[in-house]
Amino acid sequence: MLLNLSISPYVLTCLTDVTMFATTLQNFHHELKTQVFVIPETLKKAEVGIEVASKTLICLKELVEQEDFEDVPHEIHFFKHLKPCPMSYLIYFTEMRTCEMRKPKAGASFQIRFYKKELRKINKFFNHNMHFVRYMEEEHTYLDHQFFTRNTQQNFPMTPMLYHYDYPDFSSAYDMLWAKVQAMYRLIHYIRDALKTLNSPSETVPLPQKYHVMLWSGSKTALVELIYALHASQYLNHGLSDLSTLVASFEGFFNIKLDGVYKTYGEIKARKGSRTKFLEELILKLEYKMRQDDV
């Protein structure tokens, strides 16, 4: 379960310090990894995920209620980057549970038709909100004061379907919508995986390779360093892919098993001197190649 965060008077004076929020979100991601993603049964996974996300939001709400934000930039940062994380998982797991409960119980063709209908609903959602999605994905900031502060809610009402998540002192105009956008991206992957399973015959026939097999010939520590760098950059899937998904993708692409990724990352952080040796090696080798090509 989430760590019990007792709020001392000293902590309250430093409430807007990102450490308090960061600790809560770190606990949240740890619980996702250790208590949610490890559950193989989809409906059970969704139910536990809802519980973990809900408790995290309650914890964040209590922290915010104790003392207001120090200034508008802190408020914008919270509603744009922090709160939408657990909120998006709450929406995602809720939608996943709804799909699992509503899908036809028998008949692959009926189930395929159901999932395709859900994908059409998601496409309609993105089409309806295309301007906001574009604003966020292109990392604009000129409307942040309207979208991610609480003093403009009367001009930007909550999305009706999300009214049950609405707490006036814990909601900006569009943090709910941004959370749902992230949730819908995750739901697309969930539905596509379900369709892939349904469309796969019982005895799969190997397909011809569309690309050459790639094998990682460097150290596993170097690969972990690269994965963490890409995850920190948020350049993959608009930063919506969690670390475990990235690790699994690299394992599949390079046909390698990465055990103890979090432990390896801890060892990288504990290095003496430079902590990004592999990334710096890449820079040196690329610059050397460019110099050679210029000759």
**Quick one: pLDDT at residue 252?**
79
Lowest-confidence pick of 143-147, 164-168, 210-214: 164-168
Rounded average pLDDT over 234-240: 78
- pLDDT tens digits for range 180-223: 998 998 999 899 888 888 887 554 444 444 555 577 878 889 99
- pLDDT tens digits for range 63-122: 888 877 778 888 888 888 888 999 999 999 999 999 999 988 888 889 999 999 999 999
Sign of CA pseudo-dihedral 252, 256, 258, 264:
negative
What DSSP state is assigned to residue 205?
Answer: P
Q: Reduced to 3 states, what is the DSSP secondary structure of residue 272?
A: coil
CB within 8 Å of 231: residues ≥ 6 apart = 241, 243, 246
Give the helix ranges, DSSP H, for the chain: 9-13, 18-31, 42-66, 72-77, 84-102, 108-128, 130-137, 144-147, 175-199, 220-233, 243-254, 261-269, 277-294
For residues 221 and 108, give the distance between their C-alpha atoms in angstroms, rounded to a whole number: 43
